[in-house]
Amino acid sequence: MIHHYGALHWSYAARGWMGFIAVQTDGRAVLRHELTFYKTTPDVAATRIHAFLKEKGIPRLIDVIAQPEIFPKTKTSRGETVSETFRARGLHMTPGDKDRVNGWARIRAWLDVRTFRDDDREVPRIFDAPSLQVHADCVYFLDTFLTLVSDAKQPDDIDSTTDEYPAAALRYWVMARPLPPTKIVKTLPPDAIGHEIDAIRRGLRYATR
């Protein structure tokens, strides 16, 4: 079963961005869709998000991770914040982690190619893939992500511009989730007993279906 999440960097004066992330049962994810906002109030943006979910056949978002600046500063803060407006319009909101250096490191880890084993097949398949993939439909994310450069004073950080907003939203999301576990399988010699054990496991699994 696939669960959907949102990653949001809100802005009114600059172009804000929201990504829709599909997470598979093994924890791997796909940045599948995106929306951008420019000089759009949170109320109107929430309406657009719900319409977009309906259009794409997404039943609901488990959570939307967004920049901490749009959340109440304290429990006694007065005035409705952007996050509270989104919540009032039916979107579950969670503040992201603002740790930039660790956040960019997490994005690199999610995009790094890793080795997985797919056990939900008659013959288990070993394949290499990143834990997070980006669909070609996410044009604005790809256009801006490819232009990001390191900060001159802090090389492990990214130079802060409005083009960073889509990647920043993704950074909040990956900091809120564990990296999916891999199942690395060593290559067995032709006469190893492991081949027989795998055959027994496959037989037991399909016998119980």
- Tens of pLDDT along 73-127? 887 778 899 999 999 999 999 999 999 999 999 999 999 988 777 766 666 677 7
Average pLDDT taken over every residue of the chain: 89
DSSP state letters, the chain: --EEEEEEE--SSS-EEEEEEEE-TTS-EEEEEEEEESS--HHHHHHHHHHHHHHHT----S-EEE-GGGS-SSTT--S--HHHHHHHTT--EEEPP--HHHHHHHHHHHHSEEEEEE-SSSS-EEEEEESEEE-TT-HHHHHHHTT--B-SS-TTSB---GGGHHHHHHHHHHTTSPPPPP---PPPPTT-THHHHHHHHHHHHHHT-
pTM for the full predicted model:
0.83
% of the chain with per-residue pLDDT over 90: 72
Report how far residue 6's alpha carbon sits from residue 21's, in angstroms, rounded to the nearest whole number. Answer: 6
Residue-wise pLDDT for 15-50, tens only, equals 999 999 999 988 899 999 999 999 999 999 999 999
191 compared with 63, residue with greater pLDDT: 63
List of domains in the chain:
3-207 (3.30.420.280)
Q: pLDDT at position 123, please?
A: 62
For residue 129, the model assigns a pLDDT of 86
What pLDDT, on the 0 to 100 scale, is given for residue 201? 61
